[in-house]
Amino acid sequence: MAGVAGTLGKSIFFKLAGVSGVLGVALGAYGAHGPSLNKPGAEKFKEVFKTANLYHLVHTVALLAAPLAQRPNLVGGLIFTGMTLFSGSCYVVALSQNRKLGILAPFGGTLLMIGWASFLF
């Protein structure tokens, strides 16, 4: 059992999940307390930020499962790229308060769906 855990622990996706988890928690704290999202009129953008953070943290956990997939590099790569594009784009929209900057979010969401589906193969 220790051999399997040791092998999984060496996966790049475990390391990416660690970094992503730290960023997700830090960004969540900023979203809850940061001045740009807590001023009057920013409620819609705060919701966008919360969505970005939720998807960021959920898919960070999914990265931990990538090494267990039949094709870990495919699954992990799709999930990581999708999470970066979707959540990153939403974070930018929320912080800039400019919806036009969210153009990459649909591509990221599509990659996330393909990443989840990739667990099947």
Higher pLDDT, 113 or 7: 113
Kindly list the domain boundaries of the chain, sorted by start residue.
1-118
Pick from 89, 67, 53, 81: nearest CA to 12 = 67
- Give the pLDDT band of residue 15 (cuts 50, 70, 90): very high
pLDDT (tens digit per residue) in 21-57: 999 999 999 999 988 898 898 999 999 999 999 999 9
As a whole number of angstroms, the distance between CA 71 and CA 106 comes to: 24
pTM for the model stands at: 0.90
Q: Which residues of 98-120 are buried (b: 16+ CB within 10 A; e: fewer)?
A: eeebbebbeebbebbeebeebbe
pLDDT (tens digit per residue) in 65-110: 999 999 999 999 999 999 999 999 999 999 999 999 999 999 999 9
As a whole number of angstroms, the distance between CA 101 and CA 94 comes to: 9
